[in-house]
Amino acid sequence: AQSVSQHNHHVILSEAASLELGCNYSYGGTVNLFWYVQYPGQHLQLLLKYFSGDPLVKGIKGFEAEFIKSKFSFNLRKPSVQWSDTAEYFCAVNARRDSNYQLIWGAGTKLIIKP
């Protein structure tokens, strides 16, 4: 069955550190990939998405993600994090399940940035 793995459930970094959150999926067909973020007290919102073309996609607030098809990965990166990046980050993959497409979600990574 298709699945999405986010290997780190909790990440703690200091401000200005570089960030990379891992996301791997198991699905051999065409995929569309998403990162969503939930800031404390706010709704889940889209951070960035990949559909086709340049595998390096840029999102809001300086985030970017790289789709590596051979590794079934879509890791999220940010060169220098800020305290305001403290949030929970979810990777999701749009993949075929039975006869329909559906979003399959990772378990999320809680990121804490120490000021």
Quick one: 40 or 115, whose CB is closer to other proteins? 40
Distance (Å, whole) CA 50 – CA 10: 24
DSSP of 50-110: E-SS-SEEE-GGG-EEEEEGGGTEEEEEESS--GGG-EEEEEEEEEEETTEEEEEE---EE
Quick one: 6 or 81, whose CB is closer to other proteins? 6
Residue 7's H or E segment, with its range, is none
CB of 105 to other proteins, least distance (A): 3
Residue 31 backbone dihedrals phi, psi, to 5 degrees: -125, 155
Chain positions contacting other proteins, by CB under 8 A:
4, 9, 32, 36, 43-46, 49, 51, 90, 92, 94, 97, 100-108
Which residue's structure tokens are 């200005």? Answer: 16
CB of 45 to other proteins, least distance (A): 7
Quick one: 19 or 95, whose CB is closer to other proteins? 95
CB of 44 to other proteins, least distance (A): 4
CB of 112 to other proteins, least distance (A): 17
Quick one: 32 or 73, whose CB is closer to other proteins? 32
